[in-house]
Every structure is written in C-alpha cells, then in structure tokens.
Structure 1
C-alpha cells in the first residue's frame, strides 16, 4: 500500500507560523493600550513583545533552513548509494574495501568514483577523480561510472573500455553545455564546461594475478607486498579524459602480478595533496609503510588507518575530495602461480623488485 506524504500541512505550517507571529505584533500594536503609552514600563513591554516576535521569526527561519539542508544531504546520500554503491567484501577471490570523503560540507557526495567488477575478461577496476566536487560533479560521475559498468562486461580489450569512457564523457559534456546554454545550439562548448576533465585509472587483474593498467592522469596505486611499499608503475600517465583526444594506441601496460597476500592501494590526489598547518603534504607512502608493519592487515584496517592519519594531518575535514580503495589477493597460492590471462605470474618465493612493476 502506498503512503501519501502530507506535504500540504507542512507548507501551511511553514507559511502560517511567520504570519501568526506578524499578526501577534500587529494586534498588539493596534489593540493593546500599553502600545500607545510613552511610559518606561509600557516601552519595556512593547520592546519585549517585538523582541519575542523577532526571535520567533529567526528561529523559524533557522528551522526551515536546517530542514532544507537535511533534505539536500538525504538526496546526496541516496545518490551516493546508487552511484558509489558499496563494494562487496570479496570479488572473484579479491578482498575489497573502499570509501570516500567529500570536501563539501553540504553533501556527502564528492567528485571521486570507483568500482570493482568481476567479468569474463578478469576483475576490472576503475578509480577516477572528476574536476570539482559536490553536487555539481554528480552528473559527470554518473556518466563515467555508468559507461564503465557496461563496457567492463562488453569489451574484451581494456583499451576499448577506456575509449567507451572517453566517448561517454564527451557526450555528457555536450549535453550539459546544451542544457546550460540553449542559445549555443550545436556549437562546441566555449565556456568552463569545456575545461572539465576526469582522471581515470583502469586495472585488469587476471585469474593468475597478472595486472594490466591504463592510466589517464591519475596517481599510480601502491603495491603492498609483505613490508614493501612500491608504486605499481613508474611510467608517465596519459592525459586526463576531456581536454585532449585519446591516442590511437591504447595498449594496456603490464604491471607484474598481484601475488596471494599482496594488496593494491588506489587513491585520488586529494589524499596526497592534503596539507597540514605548515603546508606539508600528507606522506602517504610513509603512512602505508607504517601500516604494513602490523601484519596481517585487512583492507578495512588499511582504510581506517589511512583516513585517521590524513584527518590528523589536516586537523579536520580535508580541502579536497578523497577516495581510497584497497584490493587484497586472497586467492589460493597454487592458482595464482599458474599462467594467467596476462602471462606468467611472478614466482611466489621471489621478493618483488622495482623491475617487476615496470
């Protein structure tokens, strides 16, 4: 059975209270004899009446604004639950954990995006960062994430997945420009919409643990292997999606293997760019090195440790959106030593070296 929300009484209440307070002030001025006297006592009573009326109006406006803010936050929370849906604790043998923190106090949704999907081509991962934050970034997040969730299953090649994301972003920006500037007709955007961009990191983890990557302007994740904390790769990324066309050659970069027990820590630049009162950047690699000293460390524990450390560094809410994702390989060691979809995995007994991540 559907339940009809009584909106009319709320509207009547919202308009009726200010009118009632105003009517009290008018009736007092017109009918009360004290309002027409010049004595000190009469003036004190009149001042008290109008002070009470003014206070009531201010409190009512404050209540209305707080209720509106709660509604905005509820809408933002609902959008977040749809767009950045909670990751399952395990995806094809990988333990996962992810969270984001928005810099916008008026909404719980920022401009960061992430997802992990198990496909027939391997486990595919996206981490991205939309220019800007808050409600204004929701449309771009929806366009990029929606395209990834379809292309991850449809496209056998990771480069074609990236191409789908690029076309979806361009289409979204054109439609947004047309909606915001209808007089521009079909002309190309020449306003701030044309400066929008999205940094995107795509990963594909094969059955044998082999990792392929395509990076468009995003920070490289860190590989945690035992007590070692190293970047997954050291090559320069491609330009972000939006301002520049993608190159014709979108061959994924082989990044070694994710062995059983190893973890990947993906993040947006809001984490490393967080500054303390003295202007020093947050030492993410050092915080990870400190965290891996305590073994074993679950993905959820890594998230809690990093978020606590960066908030202590900032002494409060960050100035930019930040998102973190941790993937740990919990597959059986025998299965991960077999040749995977992306080549032969690293031997389990061998320590990872920087050459493994090139």
Structure 2
C-alpha cells in the first residue's frame, strides 16, 4: 500500500485530471435535470404551461450536453491535426529554399480525404558528393504506405552522406525496404494469422547533381523528371528503368545513368505518377509536358512559379482534389557559371548567346 506523508500534496496524473474535468460538466447538467424533476412542483404538474416549462428545461439540459461534447470533439480534432502536421514535418519535411546553390520548391497532396501525408516521398540533401535528391511513390495509401515511405526516407537520409556513389545509396534503400517488408509481414501474420500478398513496392528515383552541374540518376520504376531549359520541357532521359524496390532483387551492377548537365538557369521537375495520370471528367490525362513548357516561358523562372503553374493547371484539369497522391520537387540551378579550363572541351549544349565564358584562350584568367 502506498502511504502519503501528511501535508505533502499528492501527485495526480494529468490524464486523470483531464477525464475528471471532462466529466464535471455532464455531471452538473445531469444534477440540474435530476434536481428539477425531484424538487420543482412544475415537473409534476400536468397542465399545459407546466409541461412547456419542463420541456424547455430538458431542452436546455440536452443542448448543454451536446455543446459540451461538440467542444471536446473539436479540441480532439485540433489536437489530431497538430499531430498530423508534426508527423508530416518529420516524414516530408519542407526543403530549405536553397541547397548548395540550387533553389528548391516542393509540394505534396494526399488523395485520402482529410489526410496530411500519404504514400509519396521526396527529399533533397547537400552532401560532400554533390546534391542528392530522391522522389518515390509507395503502392497504396493509408498508414501502411506512410510507414513504408518513412523507412525508405530514413535510409536515404543516412546513405546519401555515407555512400560515395548512387549505387551504394540504392543498395541501402533496397535493404531497408526488404527489412521493413519482413517486419511488417511478421507483424501482420502474428495478428491475423494470414500471409500478406507480398506485392508491396515503392518506385524510387535517385538524382545526383555535382558542383559542375553534371546529373547522374538511378531509376527504379519511377517517371523520369523533366528538364526545363529556355522555353522547352523535355524528359531528362529515356533509359529503361530498373524494377521498383520490393518486387524483384536489383541486378548485381547498378551503373548510374548520365543525364547531361543542369546549367545555370535551368530547372528540374521531379514528380510522381499521380501528376501524369490525373484525369479530367472526360478521362483525358493531364498534359504535364505542355504545362511545364508554359511554365518554362515565365520570366523570371523560379521553382515557386513552376510549382504554382503546375498545381493551378492540375486542379483545373481534375476539377477538384486528385484521385491519387501528388508530389512535386523543383530544383533550379542558381550557381554562378563555371568556365572550363583553357584546354578543356566546351559544353556544346549551352547556347552561344548564353555562354558567359570567353572563347579566346588568352582571355582566361591565370
């Protein structure tokens, strides 16, 4: 038996205090109703006026109880939204406006009504190996997809700093995904006794942008991003992607795909398939490439303007919230131009009018 010393205040758990305060108001209203029925003569009077007064008193009591319950539900709803916002800030934390000379903007829309997070994931990190970005799409929705996305993102945020090449990062993601699926399979089989279908997977695109703007990528079943340069919007690559993580083992060799350079002023738009596959009332797909070409003509071109243009066009196209999760990640190179050394080959992709580097070798600084 626990004994309390005299004069020492007893500690009461906050949860018990909350429950006691929540029961106080209903108890008071119930006491009012009981007292009226037992002590007031009108409660036992059969006349029409007395019945009207009794009905008014009962309506007041019921209204008070309903308002009390409504206030408590609203408080719980606000608390749940704060928790959801905190979870989203940890899982899909807002990227900084600039990452190692790259301007960044991102957005995520969940297909689940009332949900703040879904099955899409993205992140961008500055490392000693260059700026590394990831975007992915988990099969399905709900808490299961959120947990899978958290496992993949957590592994990426560590591996992006530890691994010297993208192949090492992707291997770490594959192991994290396999471990997560095993743990979830064991947990579900212990709870239900059924064996899961084993068809959970996640599409992933890894990008590495080096200080000179060179882009290298590894794609596991994800849509290729678009490169915005001048007034054009073109797919970054047409290479055949690898299988999504979780379906089949990755091949022994994982050579990164060279994707050219992200020149100063150019932008990359990474997206999930919820953007391209969004349909209008007639069943037509969203014209993402045309919308991006329109966004590329904006001056000045900023990641925020690209995000705003795509979202506005997407919501007009679908006439409401999308049916699938949507994620956009926009990266624009705002680094100062880097001139090659006098003996190095020049980049033939850059237009001559936009080339700030001198053509005469004697003009290069010593």
Question: Do they superpose with TM above 0.5?
Answer: yes
Aligned to 1:124, the other structure's residue is in SS state strand
TM-score (normalizing by structure 2)? 0.84
Work out which of the residue numbers 314, 320, 323 in structure 2 matches 1:310.
Answer: 314
1:218 and 1:350 map into 2 onto residues whose CA distance is 34
Stretches of structure 2 that go unaligned for 5 or more consecutive residues are 1-11, 354-366
Correspondence 1:1-358 to 2 at 5 A = 8-182=16-190, 190-191=195-196, 194-335=198-339, 346-349=348-351
Unaligned runs of 5+ in 1: 352-358
TM-fit CA distance, 1:227 = 0.5
Q: Secondary structure, in 3 states, of the residue corresponding to 1:297? A: coil
Structure with higher Rg: it is 2
Structure 1 position 69, deviation (Å): 1.7
Cα separation, 1, equivalents of 2:56 and 2:27: 19
* Cα deviation, residue 321, structure 1: 2.0
Deviation at 1:247, TM superposition (A): 2.2
1:318–1:48 Cα change, 3 Å:
farther
Q: Find the aligned partners of 1:241 and 1:350 in 2 and give their Cα distance.
A: 42
Q: Which moved more, 1:197-206 or 1:13-22?
A: 13-22
Aligned residues: 340
TM-score scaled by length of structure 1 = 0.85
- Aligned-partner SS, 1:104: coil
* Range with bigger deviation, 231-240 or 122-131: 231-240
Identify the residue that residue 360 of structure 2 maps to in structure 1: none
Displacement after TM superposition at 1:350 (Å): 7.1
Q: How far off its partner does 1:106 sit? A: 3.3
**3-state SS of 1:151 partner:** helix
8 Å contact kept, 2:188–2:196: no
1:121-177 CA-to-partner distances (Å, cap 9, x unmatched) read 222110011223354433222211111111112112212211110110121222233
Kindly tell me: are residues 175 and 338 of structure 1, through their superposed partners in 2, closer, same or farther at Cα, counting changes over 3 Å?
farther
Contact 1:199–1:217 (CA under 8 A) maintained in structure 2: yes
Distance 1:278 1:40 in 2: 62
1 or 2 for the larger relative contact order (CA 8 Å, sep ≥6)?
A: 1
Between the aligned partners of 1:200 and 1:158, the Cα distance in structure 2 is 12
Alpha carbon RMSD of aligned pairs, Å? 2.7
Question: 1:224, CA displacement in angstroms?
Answer: 0.4
Q: C-alpha distance in 1, partners of 2:348/2:140? A: 40
